[in-house]
Amino acid sequence: MDCQEKLEVPVYTDVDRDTFLRDIYPLRRPAVLKRVPLGPCVRAWTVSYLAQKGGDREVKVHVSPEPRMDFLHKNFVYRTLPFDKFVQRAAEANHSDFFISKDESYYLRSLGEDARKEPADVRKQFPELAEDFHIPQFFEPEQFFSSVFRISSPGLQLWTHYDVMDNLLAQVTGRKRVVLYSPKDALHLYLTGDKSEVLDIDTPDLQLYPEFAKACRYECVLEPGDLLFIPALWFHNTLALEFGVGVNVFWKHLPPDSYDKKDPYGNKDPVAATRALQSLERTLGILEELPPDYQDFYARRMVLRIQNRGYTKQHSQNVTLEGVICVILWALLFVVAYWIISLIMRFVAGVVWWCLWWLKIAFAIGVFQSILSDTGAPVETTATRLVFLALVCVLLGVGTTPAKPDAHLKDRITMLERRLTEIEKSKVD
């Protein structure tokens, strides 16, 4: 089934640690958090302030001639610039100093001291700026993994990818559109490792990527000062609507041993997942020993096995508190509607019953009058007519009281109750 609709990411305001941990975090769904105090950075981080306070330490940045970075065809290069120069270039539309073209786009994903070994931490690499940014305390300090600067030129779009850790993306300045896809849509995203091959997510080539139409698109626009909670494994694609500075904080929500120790970026699959993927590769190698039609057949059997054993059962996912409340409300509505409709029906049936009763009386009186007013008729004929009328009246039940339509029903219920009492008595005896 195609997922045509664009789904809004839910927005929460004035969220504190307790609310986050109780109401938002357990849902394992993205959420925009507004008015969480991030510190003076939201007002202070202008281009000149960033340049002056960030200084001239060297940073490695992505430089691309097009604003949509393409990891497949590598339409970008890595270049090194002093931080202050980089910020100035990223904020301007046209450059007098450039690497590829006057209107090239810039993107910084800050790195650790030793980029291959150490995760980024803005407190270590940019201590003067980090003072202005307060990391929301939504996890235990020992769970902290990294804090990363994300600074982009206007229009810069970062490809769809997932990370293996929970993530709070703080959009400190500038507006940013973020599109997200659930991990359950992984089959529709044409993955190469942790990235989706579908780069143009707004007008995708559905001839080339027909499955992409089935992926449900969640979307939000982050304003300066907003936080976005991106649960681990949720795919995300960012588009800077303006020059902007973000800081994202990753933390380990699985037991520490689950993560790859040599992963400074927080995007290497957990150790058990890597082992499982490696053994799948070995299994696929073994399958190749079979003739093609057998390979195909056993590959399908293996898919079935994986689906049955590995997928989370759908029904247990779907039972949410909101769902239960919704079902109860519908059930109450149904009971009330049933009660109102049956009252109306009873009233209508009563009116019809009374009308019929009066009709029968009027009919009998009318016929009786016309028999008596026929003075020319012989006495025997009049007598026969009256007897006939009497018979018809008996058959129509004229003369009995206008019993209510449900009186009969009441009699039956009383009779049933009496029978039940008798049965119970006989059981006791």
Ligand X SMILES: O=C(O)CCC(=O)C(=O)O
The nearer residue to ligand X, 234 or 360, going by C-beta atoms, is 234
Residue (34 or 404) nearer to ligand X, CB: 34
Report the residue number, 235 or 360, with the smaller CB distance to ligand X. 235
Interaction between residue 150 and ligand X (CB under 6 A): yes
Q: Is 247 helix (H, G, I), strand (E, B) or coil?
A: strand
Q: Could you tell me if 162 and 183 are in contact, meaning their C-beta atoms sit under 8 angstroms apart?
A: yes
Q: Which amino acid appears at position 271 of this protein?
A: V
Listed ranges 162-170, 254-262, 301-309, 316-324: which one lies at the site for ligand X (CB under 6 A) = 162-170
Q: Which of 238, 247, 252, 269 binds ligand X (CB under 6 A)?
A: 238
Instruction: Decide whether 89 or 236 has the Cβ nearer to ligand X.
Output: 236
Written as six digits, the tokens of 375 are 């003075």
Site string for ligand X, 242-281 (x = CB under 6 A): ----x-x---------------------------------
CB 250 within 8 A of CB 143: no
Cβ proximity to ligand X: between 125 and 238 the closer is 238
- Cβ atoms within 10 Å of 225's Cβ, excluding its own: 18
Closest distance to ligand X from the beta carbon of 302 (Å): 32
> What is the size of the binding site for ligand X (CB under 6 A)?
10
3-state helix, strand, coil in the chain (%, to 5): 45, 20, 35
User: Quick one: 201 or 360, whose CB is closer to ligand X?
Assistant: 201
Question: What is the DSSP-derived secondary structure letter of residue 68?
Answer: B
Assess 169 for contact with ligand X (CB under 6 A).
yes
- Strands 58-64 and 77-82 turn out to be antiparallel
Q: Which of residues 392-421 bind ligand X (CB under 6 A)?
A: none
- Binding segment for ligand X (CB under 6 A), chosen from 161-169, 183-191, 303-311, 332-340, is 161-169
Spatial separation of the C-alpha atoms in residues 307 and 317, rounded to whole Å: 15
Whether 171 and 238 have beta carbons less than 8 Å apart is answered as no
Tally of helices (H runs) and strands (E runs) in the chain: 12, 16
- When the beta carbons of 215 and 360 are compared against ligand X, the nearer one is 215
Alpha helices by DSSP H, 374-398: 379-396
Q: Where are the beta strands (DSSP E) in 155-231?
A: 157-161, 166-173, 176-181, 191-192, 195-196, 217-222, 226-230
Does residue number 15 form part of the binding site for ligand X (CB under 6 A)? no
CB of 219 to ligand X, least distance (A): 14
Q: What does the DSSP 8-state code read for residue 135?
A: P
Least distance (Å) between residue 331 CB and ligand X:
42
Which range of residues in 163-171, 194-202, 355-363, 381-389 is near ligand X by CB under 6 A? 163-171
Least distance (Å) from ligand X to the CB of residue 341?
A: 54
Most distant CA pair in the chain, distance:
131
Should residue 163 be labelled a site residue for ligand X when binding is judged by CB under 6 A? yes
Question: According to the binding rule CB under 6 A, does residue 146 interact with ligand X?
Answer: no
Question: Is residue 121 part of the contact set for ligand X (CB under 6 A)?
Answer: no
Q: Please select the residue that binds ligand X; options are 64, 105, 152, 160, rule is CB under 6 A.
A: 152
Whole-number minimum distance, CB 19 to ligand X, in Å? 22
At 384, list the tokens: 């026969």
Note whether 197 and 243 are within 8 A (CB): no
CA distance 386 to 413: 39
Q: 74 — alpha (psi -120 to 50), left (phi > 0) or beta?
A: left
**Is residue 173 part of the contact set for ligand X (CB under 6 A)?**
no
Cα dist. 222→125, 172, 176 in Å? 25, 9, 5
Q: Tell me how far, at minimum, the Cβ of 146 lies from ligand X, in Å.
A: 10
Q: How far is the CB of 287 from ligand X (least distance, A)?
A: 35
Q: Is 110 in the site for ligand X (CB under 6 A)?
A: no
CB of 32 or CB of 360, closer to ligand X: 32
Cβ of residue 334: shortest distance to ligand X, in angstroms?
Answer: 45
CB–CB of 251/143 below 8 Å?
yes
Interacting residues with ligand X (CB under 6 A) = 150, 152, 158, 163, 167, 169, 236, 238, 246, 248
